[in-house]
Amino acid sequence: QKEVEQDPGPLSVPEGAIVSLNCTYSNSAFQYFMWYRQYSRKGPELLMYTYSSGNKEDGRFTAQVDKSSKYISLFIRDSQPSDSATYLCAMSTAGGGNKLTFGTGTQLKVEL
């Protein structure tokens, strides 16, 4: 069993839909949780960074962490075609770039 599980998709949604992306993990020591967006042939771009449990909102993006269930989510509201990318969850036991464990990424396509 992988330490971090993420459905690879692809996930196809119509423009304007609410997108829900999720990861589960097994290591209860993870404290820092991140979501990255990666366009084809580009490096990952940091979207959200959260510590411990709770919600964090930034524009159309909301990140949720439920440590009791070892489950994290990223919600995208009013999805746009420009949101089409691969979304990677990542987590670590400490901050400062401490060894990240990545999910495999979910490929999202937002269609007109």
Partner 1 sequence: GAVVSQHPSWVICKSGTSVKIECRSLDFQATTMFWYRQFPKQSLMLMATSNEGSKATYEQGVEKDKFLINHASLTLSTLTVTSAHPEDSSFYICSAPTGPDSPLHFGNGTRLTVT
Handedness of CA 88, 89, 94, 95 (dihedral sign): positive
Q: Return the number of the residue (79 or 105) whose C-beta is nearest partner 1.
A: 105
1 binds partner 1 (CB under 8 A): no
Member of 42, 52, 58, 81 binding partner 1 (CB under 8 A): 42
SS3 9: coil
Q: Return the number of the residue (47 or 110) whose C-beta is nearest partner 1.
A: 47
Q: Which residue stretch of 13-21, 55-63, 76-84, 92-100 sits at the interface with partner 1 (rule: CB under 8 A)?
A: 92-100
Residues between 57 and 86 with contacts to partner 1, criterion CB under 8 A: none
100 binds partner 1 (CB under 8 A): yes
30 binds partner 1 (CB under 8 A): no
Beta strands in 7-104 (DSSP E): 11-14, 19-25, 32-38, 45-51, 54-58, 61-66, 71-76, 85-92, 101-102
d(Cα 98, Cα 68) in Å, to the nearest integer? 22
Binding site for partner 1 (CB under 8 A): 8, 32, 34, 36, 41-46, 49, 88, 90, 95-97, 99-100, 102-105
